[in-house]
Amino acid sequence: MRDQHQGKKPRIPIAGQHVWHWFKKMDVTREGTGYGINPLQPTQIEAWTRQRGIKLTPWQLDAIEALDVLRLQLFFEKSSGDKDTEVVISDRPLSPALFDAIFPK
């Protein structure tokens, strides 16, 4: 997943390609907030598999949960890097005259 996040094609073993495909399908249905994405909840995974008639084996569920942890780490690493840049609203210093012009009495 890190390779894909860096713009490279991911190297998925043949035996796990179906799990990767399932995870990508689940990933686009995940819920989020204004602060980012939420982890896939067990109820979401269970509903997704039930709707498709898929019975996950323990290793498949473990793989999906591990992919989800990595997905969250990559998302928040990228998000935290954006906060290092300072947002410049104005180059002008706020003088009393400018303050009064913006917020008249």
Count of Cβ atoms closer than 10 Å to residue 23 Cβ:
21
Domain count, the chain: 1
Residue 23 DSSP label: H
Model-level pTM greater than 0.75?
no
Residue 79 Cα to chain centre, angstroms: 9
Q: Which of 3-7, 30-34, 44-48, 77-81 has the highest mean pLDDT?
A: 44-48
Q: For the segment 51-78, what is each residue's pLDDT rounded down to a tens digit?
A: 999 999 999 999 999 999 999 998 888 7
